[in-house]
Amino acid sequence: MASKRRNTFYENKKQEATGISAADDENYYNDDGDADEDEDSYESPDPGSYRILSSPQNFSVYPGETVRLPCKVSDPANAVTQWRRGTDPIWFDVTRQITDQRYNRMDNNTIEIKGVQISDTNTFSCQILADPPTQEIIHHLNVYSPAKIIRTIPDPTMPFVVRKGSPMTLMCEATGYPKPVITWTRKGMNMPTGEDSIQASSLTIDSVSKRHSGAYTCTARNSEATDKATVLVTVQYEPEIEIEKETVNSAEHYTSELECIVHANPAATVTWLKDDRTLKGLMNHILLSKIGENRHLLKISSTKMSDFGKYTCLAKNERGSANKSITLSGNPSIPVLDSVNINEEGRPQLTWKLESHAPITDYELLYRKQVSDDWFPVQPEPTNGSGNIFTLVYKFEGLEPNTYEARLRAKNKYGWSPLSEPKAFSGGNQ
């Protein structure tokens, strides 16, 4: 009798799952009047005594192959099982609940899938229907598929503009099996952190600067394929100005050149001012020009006394403005200490270099012990320069062994240079 019918519990479960009642299914017992006697002598099996004998497995297959998912039970004649793909029911006992004819249930309760497709990737659960349904195994079916980028943020087909100081997140999502490895690179540059590449699905920068601009490429790679997507990031920022010299030394009748380098996005409008008055693009002997994208040049073809003074490079864009000043002067440049030596006589010898377009007429050298506040002046004799470069070599005499400091300034017909910074030297072993 047990092999011919299922108890009321299973009939109800089947009706819940399929909408088919026992009266509608020829596999179910149909009361013909002798049921009372049979029911008195029939002992319903205990659903909790059934066991799933198969173990959960992971299946990795290629498209087009056939896969079999086992679910062997201890009492197949009486146990009622249900198969699900994800959360969707596909088989209730022997009743099909999926229209896809590639799916079939074999006699041993194994689900066979022919011509596997990428869309079949899912979890497959087999459950013995009991109350509660505690007997269940879950198989994982993975179908090999090429890595494919399905979404990037921002959209690579659209320009992405971000303001300096704002946060920025780059994201890249990909599908495929095995799970793709995602890396980020930047064209022609290292990543902002200094590495050649970063392995991550997303990158976040809390506060962007101009150095974060560039073409960022997301690469998704697995054993089956490689896919790429590139995002062009443009950081907008207020102008930033660089100057090579705060003071440019020249002389009358010489050509003088003042230069500022401007970085900005959007591009900046650059204006030159002389003593806070705007200069036009072409004024007699003054020419304003631009070299490349960033270099702005003010060129004075024949410098006059009236041309000496303070010039300002002013840059503006919609994000802000910046300015830096350059002084055009006929005075000598600040002397630079080139070397400190102890000569054969044990005396310290200091060498300075400076720039002047007019002959040097005077030097003033100041020195002191490093622990003293009193400077002692010396007036070295000027020597001829090589072009516009002048060199002063001075040998100290009579210094006690100690640590000293020295400063130098130079004079030409336009005036004195600023004093050089104090530099330490040894008094030698005289």
> Residue ranges per domain, the chain?
8-143, 146-235, 243-329, 336-426
pLDDT band at 283 (very low <50, low <70, confident <90, very high): low
- Write the CA distances from 296 to 312, 316, 321, integer angstroms: 12, 13, 16
Contact 322, 239 (CB under 8 A): yes
| pTM, two decimal places | 0.69
Query: Quick one: how many helices (H) and strands (E) in the chain?
Result: 2, 34
CATH of 243-329, one of 3.40.50.300, 2.40.30.10, 3.30.70.1070, 2.60.40.10: 2.60.40.10
Tell me the pairing of strands 58-61 and 136-143: parallel
Can you give the pLDDT at residue 132?
A: 63
CATH code of 146-235, in short, is 2.60.40.10
pLDDT band at 239 (very low <50, low <70, confident <90, very high): very high
Can you give the pLDDT at residue 385?
A: 86
Please tell me the least confidently modeled range out of 17-26, 256-265, 293-302, 411-420.
17-26
CATH code of 8-143, in short, is 2.60.40.10
pLDDT digits (tens, 9 = 90+) for 193-228: 899 999 999 999 999 999 999 999 999 999 999 999
Please tell me the least confidently modeled range out of 54-63, 283-292, 375-384.
283-292
pLDDT digits (tens, 9 = 90+) for 23-44: 444 333 333 334 344 444 434 4
pLDDT digits (tens, 9 = 90+) for 80-115: 999 999 999 999 999 999 999 999 999 899 999 999
Can you give the pLDDT at residue 416?
A: 97
Nearest to 106 by CA among 140, 83, 75, 86: 83
* Torsions phi, psi for 401 (to 5 deg): -60, 115
CA dihedral 116, 118, 120, 121 (to 10 degrees): 120
Which of 34 and 426 is assigned the larger pLDDT? 426
Please tell me the least confidently modeled range out of 12-16, 105-109, 274-278.
12-16
Q: Quote the CA–CA distance of 394 and 410 in Å, as a whole number.
A: 14
- Write the CA distances from 422 to 331, 355, 401, 411, integer angstroms: 20, 19, 19, 18
| Other beta carbons within 10 Å of 212 | 18
Can you give the pLDDT at residue 48?
A: 58
Can you give the pLDDT at residue 261?
A: 97
Is residue 429 over pLDDT 90? no
Can you give the pLDDT at residue 135?
A: 87
Q: Quote the CA–CA distance of 245 and 331 in Å, as a whole number.
A: 14
Average pLDDT across the chain, whole number = 88
Which of 10 and 68 is assigned the larger pLDDT? 68
Was domain 336-426 assigned CATH 3.40.50.720? no
Is residue 164 over pLDDT 50? yes
